[in-house]
Amino acid sequence: MATLTETDFTRVSTEAAEQFVDAYYSALDGARNSIASFYVPTSTLGNGRGLPNITYNGEHIPDAAAFQERWEKQMPYTHFDAQSVNVHVLNPSMAGSSKNKRDAERNMSLVVQVSGSVRLLERKEGPLRGFSDSMVLVPNREETGGKGTGKQDSGRRWLIQSQTFRFVV
């Protein structure tokens, strides 16, 4: 049974958050057709609540496909600048004990808080707005990227389970 030290938790969560934030906001800016791939598959829990749980400026979005469609069709040009990223291990052992250190590093959930600015309409001249984003990331248990391609870890290692995004006035 593998156990992680506090240093391990800090290293894994920090690396995961930084990589995820870079990829996610780049997708919002320029690869909008890939947005849905950053979220857990749509499912319904026993209590009737659905996943992923997406709230955008106070409005509940039913699933990742609907969020992607809205972003592709209704959002003007965006350029995100994540200025602050904070991450904490939410659950250090989601699926019981892990057999080795690598499995233990992929057996936790993370809460990631991001704040920064987004430029709308034009890259240099458009209006600048602040934003705040809180996400719960979980390991992608069905990571398919890289299999048979010689590119290890090229799939989405972490997925958004819950998100609350707000433009700041």
Domain of 60, CATH number, reads: 3.10.450.50
Cβ proximity of 91 and 109 under 8 Å:
yes
Read off the pTM. Answer: 0.88
Spell out a b/e string for 49-61, using b for 16 or more CB atoms within 10 Å of the CB, else e. eebbbbebeeeeb
> What's the domain range around 38?
6-144+157-167
Cβ proximity of 112 and 158 under 8 Å:
no
Residue 162 lies in a domain: yes
Rounded to whole angstroms, how far apart are CA atoms 48 and 105?
Answer: 30
pLDDT digits (tens, 9 = 90+) for 74-128: 998 899 999 999 999 999 988 777 778 888 888 899 999 999 999 988 777 878 8
Residue 66, both tokens: 């609907």
Residue 152 lies in a domain: no
Report the domain count for the chain.
1
